[in-house]
Structure 1
């Protein structure tokens, strides 16, 4: 880690807690005479077991800290009575911030600012609506710049006077610290950042889904979607990608013979589950996550009864891009109907559905509209079937020109606005971002899952097993970068993902990657030290 850089995190290691006790003593026994001095030069806080400590790390040194707890009574309750009685408004979920301290040589404002910014993100994520603090009167100006507002009477002694203060998201946003805090940059496969143009379209006055105006807009959206992937027909459903895949499963239930489902990740496994729920007759070719399918392997799993194949195009759970050309070749040669989950690849990379029986997509993710609409693409005429639930019957949509039930004109408006901005440059940008970031992460020595067959849509990083991917993800999030790490299937494998489908500046990519490297390097060293101490 650079000697000139620091970062913020939640304290977890014994060494960090030891340094916290010493910084606590240095500040509140020697500098501010709130507690008695002692030979050990350590001060363990009375609420230590309940505290969550936000700390600032430079190299391996704790140079700043703040403790957060939500157990009542607060220390401030004991000084002024229930804090609710002294506040000019009601509160629902308060927390108390104590022990805000920075070593003297680092009191240039940057550490205090970073602690405040990390604190507000942490509190929002935890669901707290107000943070309370006893601020030393020596630093009231600084507290005010961070967004803290005074209330109630002073507490303490003449040698150590404190002002009760509160911080809310509103007071923080209006403060100097809040105004210079950049927005969180999402590196998620969805949702992505929504443009002002799309949000403006979403907010238009709703119109009836039976009106001629709505029908014209829907027709335009379907044309754009069909041109995007070279599909003759597309129908738009009000629901998620799971709904669209259920529609595919429903259609496959009308087919004769058996199917073959290819699964090399979480979303391939979900296709298996959906097929089972529909009682489909099929075989499964299961491979380890991130392992690619070869031609010979797939063909060897076919039987005389096989009539269809169902697979995921971009398996985002591992970052694997399954070979669409290969699947189309095999399906054509063996007269099979190919079905594809293109939910993650649609709008991110070029997708040609010529020769594909059924495929699915969504309005969120790389399309960059709002979540809530899903699509089913096909080339053949589909008739309604009384054997299927009406809402899942593709033929019913075809017979009713895609408007069999109530629909949302607002989501359609947003979709249209997003589709108008997708072009070849969109796909090139995704590939460029992926290549730039992949090379950067490799320089740091990260292990990339599905490296040789990775989708340009997302990068999957294997975190050392001595470190929690959730801890790393939380640290990066509280620094303003939202990585994909909270899904159960990622935490089970200790993986973190970085999506490349949004619009990023190289400077932001470099800052995020450098921070990720610093944090993981520090945590790895910290855990190695723990083992040596044992």
Structure 2
């Protein structure tokens, strides 16, 4: 790990971090800048400490920089110059105050200050602040300017410690050095994924009517390519999400006599169950623990003499596991069942042969790397319209109208066509290479993966130690430039996070992201260990009996 990898920025949360904040506060504003009296403890606790949110920089487990944010009035600057609104050259509705910007002397090379400014800007935007004010030491005005701060009002302080009131807005930050070099977080999501400039350009073209010959030709070309990707005979493209496509499947199943079986071993299998219930289907459910594979014996045992169809998720996004397509096709053939599959996260991510599958669904916005908004239903048989189904979810209506029974989006279709044209054998090879590299690296770091090698998809699910929060780890990675999948409720409940490797990632990016993930998890575990040790030591010194609940 090089020097750059060892820096990261986060919001302070632990007692150990707060102790080091007080120490750096003292070193900067008592010893270096004579703003406060010195003391024997060599600690300076800010009077607004309990109202502050501290953004800190960590290098090799050492706290080397910080800045504090608070939004409770009056600000310390209000006390010095009066209400800030009276002096600001701009109108503000929800300001915050930035204080205690400090970096240890040996690390004042610009990178830490820039990183703090970038984190600060993102944090303020997320909180809805429209301006931040600060008292900047006159010795570092150039530095503050590089971070986007602009001077206003008169100087404050004493001759030994003069400060310039300054303000920061979204516009001044974006025009600054720190703002110009800030890049959006690199996404490692199951969707949306990184979208190429070529696909973006297609989306931004001039819209045209879905009734034109040009639209029909492009849509048919897209459908042919999708059939080629999945070894299917027909595909109908719908204007809507994957949920719509699965509703269309459920509607078709409602026309079939007999009983069905739904396999559920994750969030999206459970969603199929709910959709089937809402459509009033007659079915049984084979439910397993999340991430556990289905065996032939379990599936066959759950079938009845009335079973006519089976419905499952191919790539269960919530766990990242691939359910065994070959096994499901074999069971369907052996027992005369119509097999339906949710392939929303697998089309474009892994090679698929959907021959022998009755109905399958996919979307434009995941591994196909186009924009969300289109979904599709894949089938091999001719489908006639049904008078008992709502037209919008009647697959037969789409088939007789060549997928244009209603208004369509030329922009979304153009973008999808460009993305599908770029998927080939090399695409799958690159995804698999990244997939294997990530699995090996994460295993090397000792991080626990949910899916085994036998059924692992390019969506890798990591179960973090119970002592650290997957949500908090995910936020740290996001603020440091990498967007992993961690915000979904089903992941938070299980303390899981996911890395989807279905984009095009340089090796250097993968190395930095995984090294940072390992560093942050290790750091947080150390913080917990330090806090626990301190708690036990204090209990021992006081003679109290200490019990840890784990």
TM-score band by shorter chain is: over 0.9
Distance 1:352 1:528 in 2: 50
Report if the CA contact (8 A) 2:315-2:457 is conserved: no
**Structure 2 residue 425 is the aligned partner of structure 1 residue 424:** yes
**Structure 2 residue 364 is the aligned partner of structure 1 residue 397:** no
Deviation of 1:394 (Å): 1.1
Deviations 1:242-298 (A, max 9, x none): 111111111111111111111111111111111111111111111111111111211
Look up the SS of the partner of 1:63 in the other structure: strand
Deviations 1:74-115 (A, max 9, x none): 222333333334333333443221110011122222221221
Deviation of 1:186 (Å): 0.6
Match of 1:263 in 2: 264
Match of 1:458 in 2: 459
Distance 1:129 1:432 in 2: 44
Match of 1:54 in 2: 55
Deviation of 1:353 (Å): 1.1
Match of 1:526 in 2: 527
**Structure 2 residue 143 is the aligned partner of structure 1 residue 142:** yes
Distance 2:388 2:49 in 1: 63
Deviation of 1:395 (Å): 1.3
Look up the SS of the partner of 1:367 in the other structure: coil
C-alpha RMSD of the superposition: 1.6
Look up the SS of the partner of 1:57 in the other structure: strand
Deviations 1:490-530 (A, max 9, x none): 01000110000000011110001111111111111111222
**Structure 2 residue 41 is the aligned partner of structure 1 residue 36:** no
Deviation of 1:23 (Å): 1.3
Cα 1:367–1:129 shift into 2, 3 Å: farther
Deviation of 1:195 (Å): 1.1
Distance 1:230 1:78 in 2: 72
Match of 2:434 in 1: 433
Q: Any gaps of 5 or more consecutive residues in structure 1?
A: none
**Structure 2 residue 14 is the aligned partner of structure 1 residue 19:** no
Match of 1:110 in 2: 111
Q: Mapping of 1:465-484 within 5 angstroms? A: 465-484=466-485
Match of 1:189 in 2: 190
Look up the SS of the partner of 1:403 in the other structure: coil
Report if the CA contact (8 A) 1:3-1:59 is conserved: no
Match of 2:499 in 1: 498
Report if the CA contact (8 A) 1:151-1:164 is conserved: yes
Choose 483-492 or 230-239, whichever is displaced more. 230-239
Distance 1:144 1:379 in 2: 64
Report if the CA contact (8 A) 1:314-1:455 is conserved: no
Look up the SS of the partner of 2:341 in the other structure: strand
Report if the CA contact (8 A) 2:121-2:170 is conserved: yes
Distance 2:285 2:206 in 1: 47
Distance 2:54 2:109 in 1: 21
Match of 1:487 in 2: 488
Report if the CA contact (8 A) 1:2-1:59 is conserved: no
Deviations 1:16-56 (A, max 9, x none): 11111121122112222222333332222122111111111
Deviation of 1:3 (Å): 8.3
Distance 1:119 1:145 in 2: 14
Cα 1:28–1:274 shift into 2, 3 Å: same
Deviation of 1:2 (Å): 8.0
Deviations 1:211-247 (A, max 9, x none): 2221122111111111111111111111111111111
Deviation of 1:402 (Å): 1.3
Deviation of 1:129 (Å): 3.3
Distance 2:429 2:167 in 1: 48
**Structure 2 residue 91 is the aligned partner of structure 1 residue 100:** no
Deviation of 1:449 (Å): 0.6
Deviation of 1:58 (Å): 2.5
Look up the SS of the partner of 2:311 in the other structure: strand
Cα 1:212–1:3 shift into 2, 3 Å: closer
Deviation of 1:427 (Å): 0.8
Distance 1:519 1:189 in 2: 22
Report if the CA contact (8 A) 1:240-1:362 is conserved: yes
Report if the CA contact (8 A) 2:321-2:455 is conserved: yes
Deviations 1:284-333 (A, max 9, x none): 11111111111121111111011101000001211111111111111011
Q: Mapping of 1:135-534 within 5 angstroms? A: 135-534=136-535
Deviations 1:397-452 (A, max 9, x none): 11222111111111111111111111111111111111011111111111111123
Deviation of 1:73 (Å): 2.9
Report if the CA contact (8 A) 1:430-1:456 is conserved: no
Look up the SS of the partner of 1:366 in the other structure: coil
Report if the CA contact (8 A) 1:198-1:418 is conserved: yes
Deviations 1:328-347 (A, max 9, x none): 11101111000000000011
Q: Any gaps of 5 or more consecutive residues in structure 2?
A: 536-550
Cα 1:188–1:102 shift into 2, 3 Å: same
